[in-house]
Structure 1
Amino acid sequence: MGNVAGVGFVLMGIGALICFVDAAGLQKFLKLRNLKRRGVQGEAVSTLQEWISSGHRVYYDILLPGRSPQSRPPRFIELGVEPRGPVGTVVPVVYDRRKPSRARTGTLADIAGIDQSEERLYVKLFWVPGLTCIAVGALLAIIFY
């Protein structure tokens, strides 16, 4: 019976590895899905621009309406995109009211027009078998250990 429990532990490890491979894809998919569902149009100002190997890293502060001047504005970072002007430029942004740091430059129409079928395919391709392996492995380990 110990061998079956060992197989369960191995299955849980394989499932965790499969899920880990597409963790960034899941994060990107969920961020875009949340912005499409609960996105609010606003403005942000670029505060810092850096050149990195994959393009640019641009830091933005979101200009929230009704925010007190003493509090620090929410900040988000975009990687690999071309800056929309010099530091201090105000750009349109879509953000989630519950967590403004999950934002993306552009308008609501731009965000709604993004096709997520490829990300959805990869999420299903990796996460369904990965979570299935974890569940079956945990069940085997609990029953036969």
Structure 2
Amino acid sequence: MATVLANIGVLLIPLGMLICFLNSGGLVVFLKLRALKLYGVEGEAIPTLDEWISKGRRVFYDVLIPGGDPMRPPRFIEIGRDPAGPVGSVVPVVYDRRKPKRARTGTLDEIDFADEWGGVKLFWGTGLAVMALGALLVLVFH
């Protein structure tokens, strides 16, 4: 009986890892949005290129940082969202001073990561619990 429980534990660990892996993209989006909410600064950006792709639109922006190099401004790309304005206009943007390429059009009040947080809690909470249960079964019954 102990060997069976240890073998179940060995199977639960990769299952938990798979559950966590299924939401790895949601975790990345959540961490980026949370970092913007915590460390973000409102500023301005200029859309330089707007093109259609299979996922909607891809818009390239140049962030206007006060005191920054106007010849080489930090750039970021938004995919799937409608552009905040036409190419060449100035639009509001939230960017991280430490990493200006991590930016998003809009204001700080518009950043909402509640949808991603629900998925992260569901998948990562379940996955980590399954891995812990598997490790416990292996340690106790092996």
TM-score (norm 1): 0.79
Q: SS of 2:88's equivalent?
A: coil
Shift in alpha-carbon separation, 1:63–1:136, aligned structure 2, 3 A: same
- Look up the equivalent residue of 1:47 and give its one-letter code: T
- What percentage of aligned pairs have identical amino acids? 59
How far residue 126 of structure 1 moved from its aligned partner, in angstroms, is 0.7
- Name the CA distance, whole Å, in 2 between partners of 1:142 and 1:64: 54
How do residues 11-26 of structure 1 correspond to structure 2 at under 5 angstroms?
11-26=12-27
TM-score (norm 2): 0.80
- Name the CA distance, whole Å, in 2 between partners of 1:98 and 1:132: 34
1:38-83 residue CA offsets vs partner (Å, 9 max, x unmatched) = 210111122222201221011112122222356x332221111112
- Name the CA distance, whole Å, in 2 between partners of 1:16 and 1:94: 34
How far residue 86 of structure 1 moved from its aligned partner, in angstroms, is 3.4
Which residue number in structure 1 is paired with residue 133 of structure 2?
136
Shift in alpha-carbon separation, 1:89–1:23, aligned structure 2, 3 A: same
- Name the CA distance, whole Å, in 2 between partners of 1:27 and 1:19: 12
1:10-35 residue CA offsets vs partner (Å, 9 max, x unmatched) = 21211111111112222222222222
Which residue number in structure 2 is paired with residue 76 of structure 1?
76
1:83-138 residue CA offsets vs partner (Å, 9 max, x unmatched) = 23333332110011222222110122323xx3x43322221111101112223334
Shift in alpha-carbon separation, 1:51–1:3, aligned structure 2, 3 A: same
Shift in alpha-carbon separation, 1:99–1:2, aligned structure 2, 3 A: farther
- Look up the equivalent residue of 1:127 and give its one-letter code: W
- Name the CA distance, whole Å, in 2 between partners of 1:73 and 1:143: 57
How do residues 1-145 of structure 1 correspond to structure 2 at under 5 angstroms?
4-69=5-70, 72-111=72-111, 114=112, 116-141=113-138
Q: CA RMSD in A?
A: 2.4
- Name the CA distance, whole Å, in 2 between partners of 1:50 and 1:140: 53
- Look up the equivalent residue of 1:80 and give its one-letter code: G
How far residue 2 of structure 1 moved from its aligned partner, in angstroms, is 6.1
